[in-house]
Amino acid sequence: MSTTLLLLVIEIIGTIAFAISGIRLAAAKRFDWFGAYVVGLVTAIGGGTLRDILLDAPPFWMVNSWYVSVTGLSLLWVILFRKQLVRLNSTFFIFDTIGLGLFVVIGIQKTLMFGYPMWVAIIMGTITGALGGVIRDILINEVPLIFRKDVYATACIAGGLIYWLALETGMSPAVQQISCAMTVIIVRLLAAKYKWQIPELAKQENEENNNNVRNE
């Protein structure tokens, strides 16, 4: 019972962190309040929504109103305390990371519940955690950041693999979930601290020509 409550609190904090990241990026693009709200909401629920569509489940935010309201409160908070938010950047980063860990676990559990194999569950866990930010970047017309600084999504995959390992080695569900979330959180924190980067694909001189060839 108190565990359920704890998880709910973490999920709300994570949702707020995701929503605020979207709202602030929208503000940087001079969006108005409505645009900022939509971008914040999509950042917070976009990943889980595609997951539920792919699983053919009713979208989670349509059966529980607090995701929509918490995003509204996040917007209000940003409007009122905008100037102070900069000081809280590292706090947001922590909350965002904790939320990410939980969202990955939620995505994996739900996918396994629907009878899909673990490799699908890992993809769904990653989508749950990372896709919201991709849609956010598309809405503000930027190249999705995780495709260039992607330890964000890689942390989700790492967590998923640990979940798999714990499952295969017959660990208890609690251990599976906690080890998964902790892996996501630790990998992302270390990646941020030590500026880990996935290698780039070297650009060919005449890449553009190739594209034209490809598309003509």
Interface of this chain with its own copies, residues 11 to 50, rule: CB under 8 A = 21, 23-36, 38-39, 49
Which stretch, 1-9, 119-127, 160-168, 178-186, contacts its own copies (CB under 8 A)?
119-127
- Span 155-214, contacts to its own copies by CB under 8 A: 192, 195, 197-204, 206-208, 210-211, 213-214
User: For 201, which DSSP code?
Assistant: P
Q: Find, among 158, 42, 178, the residue nearest to 98 by Cα.
A: 178
For its own copies, the closer of residues 92 and 171 by Cβ is 92
Residue 169 class from Cβ within 10 Å (0-12 exposed, 13-18 middle, 19+ buried)?
exposed
* CA–CA separation, 7 and 13 (whole Å): 10
Indicate the residue among 6 and 58 with the shorter CB distance to its own copies: 58
Q: Binding of its own copies at residue 84 (CB under 8 A)?
A: no
Among 117, 169, 170, 172, binds its own copies (CB under 8 A): 117
Q: Are 105 and 177 in contact (CB under 8 A)?
A: yes
**What is the spatial distance between Cα 19 and Cα 8, in angstroms, rounded to a whole number?**
16
Length, in residues, of the chain: 216
In the chain, the largest separation of any two C-alpha atoms, in whole Å, equals 61
Q: Cβ of residue 119: shortest distance to its own copies, in angstroms?
A: 6
Q: How far is the CB of 11 from its own copies (least distance, A)?
A: 19
Q: Which is nearer to its own copies, 174 or 211 (CB)?
A: 211
Q: With respect to its own copies, which residue has the nearer C-beta, 6 or 138?
A: 138
